[in-house]
Amino acid sequence: MTATNAPILITGAGQRVGLHCAQRLLDDGYPVIFSYRSERPGVQALRERGAIGVFADFSSEAGILAFIAELNTHTQRLRAIIHNASAWIAETPDEESRAFTDMFSVHMLAPYLINLHCSPLLQRSSPADIVHISDDVVRKGSRQHIAYCATKAGLDSLTLSFAAQFAPSIKVNGIAPAMVMFNEGDDAAYRAKVLAKSALGIEPGPEVIYQSVRYLLDNPYVTGTTLTVNGGRHIK
């Protein structure tokens, strides 16, 4: 599929999965606008390839609305919005409410407000897509990440509602990964434990998410769907 000149917005692209997907979208000829919260080497690398970086702190309504206002100064059209930004916070004593509200804001309020305010930008592109990046853990729940899982479940609900609301001009889908890439501090015992949870038992890396994004962007007959990308955790 040839790239259009309407840019693709991807949130939280300063590192890891978001950075990889932004790089691959640039490789495939798409103009990219990305959000970042912290200055990282990946942010500069994207700028040097011509991507437009927009600061965003999605932990408050004011921060989300400020991002939306800034985004609208950079473009009048969008080919797609990929909601990748996320905080993976476990429950800790005395921090429960702050963690819950932070993850509600980044996983639910930000996609909700960005989709509502930016749908006119998507309406000026055909085809047009929204992709919510969720988590396979929603399927079963999580004892260690209760608020994280609940807010990702809310994101899955937004996929269904926005798919119905925006059809047929905008497709809305989700991607629910399990283990994609470890974090630097993950020790060997934790890595072995996590890898044992899936039938395929590998750390696939971020390309599997980009492949899923491309499937959703390129397929004209998929909406209201969340792709499971979990190495077969559900059959283990």
Ligand X SMILES: NC(=O)C1=CN([C@@H]2O[C@H](COP(=O)(O)OP(=O)(O)OC[C@H]3O[C@@H](n4cnc5c(N)ncnc54)[C@H](OP(=O)(O)O)[C@@H]3O)[C@@H](O)[C@H]2O)C=CC1
Paired tokens of 31: 């103009």
Residues 145-204 that bind ligand X (CB under 6 A): 177-181
Distance of alpha carbon 158 from alpha carbon 151, whole angstroms: 11
Q: Which of 36, 112, 148, 210 is catalytic?
A: 148
Q: Are 53 and 34 in contact (CB under 8 A)?
A: yes
Distance of alpha carbon 54 from alpha carbon 52, whole angstroms: 7
9 bridge partner residues: 33, 81
Q: Is 36 in the site for ligand X (CB under 6 A)?
A: yes
Of 36-44, 64-72, 120-128, 176-184, the window that binds ligand LV4SOB2L (rule: CB under 6 A) is 176-184
Query: Residue 1: is it exposed, middle or buried by C-beta count within 10 angstroms (0-12/13-18/19+)?
Result: exposed
Q: Is 68 in the site for ligand X (CB under 6 A)?
A: no
Q: Is 102 in the site for ligand LV4SOB2L (CB under 6 A)?
A: no
Q: Is 88 in the site for ligand X (CB under 6 A)?
A: yes
Q: Are 78 and 41 in contact (CB under 8 A)?
A: no
Of 57-65, 83-91, 121-129, 156-164, the window that binds ligand LV4SOB2L (rule: CB under 6 A) is 83-91
Give contact residues for ligand LV4SOB2L (rule: CB under 6 A): 86-88, 135, 178-179, 183, 194
